[in-house]
Amino acid sequence: MSLINTLLVGGGRMGSAHLEGIAKTPDLASVTAVVEPYQASHQRLRETYGIDHLHVDLASALAAEAVDAVFICTPNNLHAEYALQSLRAGKHVFVEKPLALTVADADEMVRTAAAQDRLLMSGQTLRFAPRIRQVKQLLDEGCVGTVRHIVHRRMSPGRGGDEASWFARQEASGGILPGIGSHSLDAILWWLGDRAVSVYAAVANIDPHPEVDIEDEASLVATTARGVMINVAFSFHHKVGYEWIIAGTEGVLHLSSTGGALLLDGESVPPVESVNLPGESDIHREFFSAIRENRPLAQAAGVDVRHSVALVCAAQESGRTGQAVTVD
């Protein structure tokens, strides 16, 4: 079968990562063209990735290039606009996380993908990380019984880019909750097969200066539809690492950044070579295989990720109002 021709929008750090990821699926897809508004980056894209078709805006690229799929790797505040433009042009769309910065945008993206009969996938890479997938498998097998409480922290210095980058601006990035919270909260809801119904959060910028107005600290407590309590802390300042504690009626799982250690009731759980979950174990291969096989996405479809977008947005509202917020 012919390769899936792909247009990539945004040739920066995340765009480059996706160019490298797509290159690992040569049997499925190729990158036909890249949209990169900064012409200073064009030479690097030509020399490093062999991209000859370069555009400075999405509209001209969609008009000029015969592509089947579009990868959106832009600043977060442009995800919805560019995804909708691509879906309405009849393209399958992969959006780097967060899927969107508002629930209304996420819902419009999901509706448009359904109306166009096109796939919409979010770059929730944790769903494809081996240890995260192993936890999902163990929970599905009932290793801790009924989950009652999840405690998670992800606390590391640095905002994911230099302070002059778009990521340091609240309007462009959305802050720490969309920035890294979208990964962690999506993984938790995916593990549970559940959705959040209420959340109380504290959100702050604890080290403000004129070039950096991003919300960079957050702590939240959420409750799911099945009554699971979720307690999470995020920071861009403190060198703590990450850990997850999943407590249930019959046991406790503990996953930490220390060597990727996974413990069940204090006993080490060895890693496995493969995790038997639906779909492919690689995020790019899952997206392209679903297109080729004309099937729904097994993981990280927009309609599923919408639940974590709703939790992120409700937590941000709670942080602003100081009140518990119902999750839409």
- Which tokens in the block code for residue 84? 């909708």
- Which tokens in the block code for residue 58? 């999405």
139 shares its domain with 113: no
- Helix spans in the chain (H): 13-23, 42-49, 58-64, 79-88, 103-116, 130-140, 170-173, 176, 182-192, 283-293, 302-321
Range of the domain at 90: 4-124+281-299
114 shares its domain with 256: no
89 shares its domain with 131: no
100 shares its domain with 154: no
221 shares its domain with 105: no
pLDDT per residue rounded down to tens, the chain (328 residues): 699 999 999 999 899 999 999 999 999 999 999 999 988 899 999 999 999 999 999 999 999 999 999 999 999 999 999 999 999 999 999 999 999 999 999 999 999 999 999 999 999 999 999 999 999 999 999 999 999 999 999 998 876 555 568 888 899 999 999 999 999 999 999 999 999 999 999 999 987 777 778 899 999 999 999 999 999 999 999 889 999 999 999 999 999 988 889 999 999 999 988 899 999 999 999 999 999 999 999 999 999 999 999 999 999 999 999 999 999 9
Q: Domain containing 105 — which CATH number?
A: 3.40.50.720
pLDDT at 23: 97
145 shares its domain with 269: yes
64 shares its domain with 167: no
pLDDT at 270: 95
- Helix spans in 143-202 (H): 170-173, 176, 182-192
Compute CA distances 288 → 60, 94, 120, 187, whole Å: 24, 10, 12, 22
Q: Going edge to edge, which strands form the sheet with 251-256?
A: 267-268, 262-264, 251-256, 241-248, 147-155, 229-235, 217-224, 196-204, 325-326
Compute CA distances 196 → 113, 176, 217, whole Å: 24, 19, 21
116 shares its domain with 236: no
130 shares its domain with 271: yes
pLDDT at 159: 64
Number of domains forming the structure of the chain? 2
pLDDT at 74: 96
110 shares its domain with 184: no
Q: What predicted TM-score, i.e. pTM, was given to this entire model? A: 0.95
* Three-state secondary-structure class, residue 92: strand
Four-CA torsion 38, 43, 45, 47, nearest 10 degrees: -170
98 shares its domain with 176: no
Looking at residue 105, its amino acid is D
Placement of tokens 């403190």 in the chain: 238
295 shares its domain with 316: no
Angle between helices 13-23 and 42-49 (to 10 degrees): 20
pLDDT at 164: 63
Q: Domain containing 231 — which CATH number?
A: 3.30.360.10
